Amino acid sequence: MSDISRRKFLQTTSASALLLFSGLGRESQAASVQSYPSKKIGNIKNLKVNEPLAFNYPDNNSPCVLVNVGKEASGGIGQGKSVVSFSTRCTHMGCPLTYNNGRLVCKCHYSMFDVSRNGQTYQGLASQWVAQVVLRLDAATGNIYAEGVEGLIYGRIGNLKLS
Ligand code: FES
C-alpha cells in the first residue's frame, strides 16, 4: 500500500469511526421509536416544576417518570414544551434512576442523564441515552398520554417485546 493510499485509508476509517461514535446518541435511535397503546398518565394542571410523577409504561415492568422541568426540553409538551417523560431504568445495568433538578441520576455507578436533551448521558458508565416516552397532550382536558417509546428500554432486546 502506498503512502497516499494508506493515508486515504486512515482518513476514511477515521471518518467512519467518528460517524459511528457520534451516532451512539439518540440520532442513531431515531428509527427506534415504537408506538404503544395510548395510556393516560396524568394531567398537566397537576404537574409542578421539578416534582416528578412515577408511572409504568408500556407495561408494569417498565418504571417511568413524568416531569415538568421548568424550561423548554427536547420532545417536551405543554405551553413551555417543558413536560417530558423517561424510563427510569439506567442504560448501564438497569439500576433505578431518580429525578433530581433536571437530571436522572443513577446511584449505582453515578451515571447522569439530561432530561432536557432527550435523556442524553453526560456522566458515568452509561453510554446509551435513556429511553424517552413519547407524550401527547389533550389541550381540551390537559390530560397527558404516553403513546410510544424512543430508544431502547434497558433489559430488552427490542421495544417490540412487552415483557
Ligand atoms: S447501573 Fe447506572 S451507572 Fe451503572
The tens digit of pLDDT for each residue in 51-62 reads 999 999 999 999
Residue nearest to atom 3 of ligand 1 (CA): 109
Q: In Å, how far are 17, 19, 21, 117 from 11, measured between CA atoms?
A: 10, 12, 15, 31
**Please, which residues bridge with residue 99 across strands?**
104
Residue 128 lies in a domain: yes
Residue 83 lies in a domain: yes
Q: What are 32-50's pLDDT values in tens digits?
A: 788 999 999 999 999 999 9
Q: What are 80-105's pLDDT values in tens digits?
A: 999 999 999 999 999 999 999 999 99
How many whole angstroms from 162 Cα to the centroid of ligand 1?
23
Residue 48 lies in a domain: yes
Instruction: Give me the number of domains the chain comprises.
Output: 1
Which structural domain range is residue 46 located in? 26-150
5 falls in which pLDDT band (50, 70, 90)?
low
> Which tops the pLDDT comparison, 77 or 34?
77
Residue 4 lies in a domain: no
Residue 18 lies in a domain: no
Give the domain CATH number at 81.
Answer: 2.102.10.10
Residue 53 lies in a domain: yes
Report the alpha-carbon angle 86-91-96, nearest 5: 65
What's the pTM?
Answer: 0.81
Residue 17 lies in a domain: no
Cα separation, 113 vs 130, in Å, equals 7
Catalytic site residues? 92, 109
Does residue 105's CB lie within 6 angstroms of at least one atom of ligand 1?
A: no
How many whole angstroms from 136 Cα to the centroid of ligand 1?
29
Residue 5 lies in a domain: no
